[in-house]
Amino acid sequence: MARSIYDKQIQNRNYLSPTGFNFTLQRCPKVSFFSNTAQIPGIDLGVATQPNYLNDIPRPGEKLQFSDFNLRFLVDEDLKNYMQIQNWMRGLGFPESLAEIYSEYTEYAKLYNREFNKSEELLYSDATLEVLNSTMNPQFLVKFKGMFPISLTTLDFDATPTDVDYFTAECTFKYTVYTITDLAGNPL
């Protein structure tokens, strides 16, 4: 039987919904529950230039650049989730003393009820963005390795609005790499 061009078409005609996701940041579970925006970051491939006497010729490079990962989350009124990120950043940057990084390590070790033998385990966290299908069931996973926060937005108090807009905070992360897999962990 001859194969037609239609055999190579997309079989699932449902569109991906921007509202269907769950985000899990291992190190900050309180942030994960309140997350309301996340994204699959973009990637850029560098370009090498081949000199030519008429016109330089662009050639594919060999190094990928991953865009930053941005997360927006609702802030709870006890600041528990906001402080998880802020304390992590303080632990990385120790703005007042070196003791801050050690106290943050201790808190993190208590959270996971285990000892850490590598300091790198305390600096970074893995994360997973679970993307849901049109019926709100898990469809595929975006797994991030080696995340750490590099910025956290301000919380601006203002007594003049007539309606209450609850606080959201945005956090930007750097990471080593991300992969997109099916639910069994196989690359898409």
Q: What is the pLDDT of residues 119-130, one digit of tens each?
A: 666 788 999 999
Amino acid found at 142: V
**Residue 101 pLDDT grade (very low, low, confident, very high; cuts 50, 70, 90):** low
Out of 2.40.128, 2.30.110, 1.10.3470, 1.10.150, the CATH code matching 19-38+68-181 is 2.30.110
Domain spans of the chain? 19-38+68-181
Q: What is the pLDDT of residue 106?
A: 65
pLDDT tens by residue, 118-158: 566 678 899 999 999 988 999 999 999 999 999 999 999 98
Nearest of 151, 149, 147, 129 to residue 138 by alpha carbon: 129
User: Is the whole-model pTM more than 0.85?
Assistant: no
Tell me the C-alpha distance between 59 and 69, whole Å: 28
Nearest of 31, 174, 27, 32 to residue 108 by alpha carbon: 27
Hey, what are 127's tokens? 């994360």
Is the model more confident about 9 or about 97?
Answer: 9
Nearest of 171, 137, 126, 166 to residue 152 by alpha carbon: 171
**Residue 161 pLDDT grade (very low, low, confident, very high; cuts 50, 70, 90):** confident
- H or E element that contains 109: helix 99-112
Q: What is the pLDDT of residue 121?
A: 67
